[in-house]
């Protein structure tokens, strides 16, 4: 029984799974979007949103927590300096998952996970209004 066992195993042991998720979240903040399978994207989303929440807090403890999780301190500094101002007025939903088809080799469903850009959203609302 899986009582109180949250998250997917992703066919990996716990250390491999944690390392893979850390690498993917670091890549997401470095490149602002990555392509991966649907299941991995759904596992990355809550971690990425917690990292952005830490950046919004912005104190020393939050910065050290983010640096401890992310693989590169350069990416953590980018998160706190460049990406934080984008999300200061937003109350959540910092990450978007867009389905992008299936992988040719094994038929796995693919998704693009990306950071929501406030500037693009404002432009979209201006065109509609």
Per-residue pLDDT of the chain (129 residues; tens, 9 = 90+): 989 998 999 999 999 999 999 999 999 999 999 999 999 999 999 999 999 999 999 999 999 999 999 999 999 999 999 999 999 999 999 999 999 999 999 999 999 999 998 555 555 555 554
- Cβ proximity of 112 and 33 under 8 Å: yes
State CA 80 to chain mean position distance. Answer: 14
The residue whose two tokens read 């953590």 is 76
Beta bridge partners of 37: 110
Question: Model's pTM, two decimal places?
Answer: 0.87
Pairing of strands 33-37, 95-102: unpaired
The Cα 38–Cα 57 span in angstroms is 29
- For position 117, what pLDDT does the model report? 83
Closest to 56 measured CA to CA, from 79, 35, 77: 79
Domains of the chain: 14-128 (3.90.1030.10)
- For position 2, what pLDDT does the model report? 87
């Amino acid at each position: 029984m899986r009582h109180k066992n949250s998250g997917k195993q992703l066919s990996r042991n716990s250390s491999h799974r944690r390392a893979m998720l850390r690498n993917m979240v670091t890549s997401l903040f470095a490149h602002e979007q990555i392509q991966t399978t649907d299941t991995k994207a759904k596992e990355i989303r809550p971690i990425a949103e917690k990292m952005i929440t830490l950046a919004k807090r912005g104190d020393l403890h939050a910065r050290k927590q983010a640096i401890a999780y992310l693989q590169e301190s350069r990416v953590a500094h980018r998160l706190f300096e460049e990406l934080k101002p984008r999300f200061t007025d937003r109350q959540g939903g910092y990450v978007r998952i867009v389905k992008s088809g299936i992988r040719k080799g094994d038929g796995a469903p693919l998704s693009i996970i990306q950071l929501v850009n406030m500037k693009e959203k404002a432009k979209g609302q201006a065109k509609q209004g």
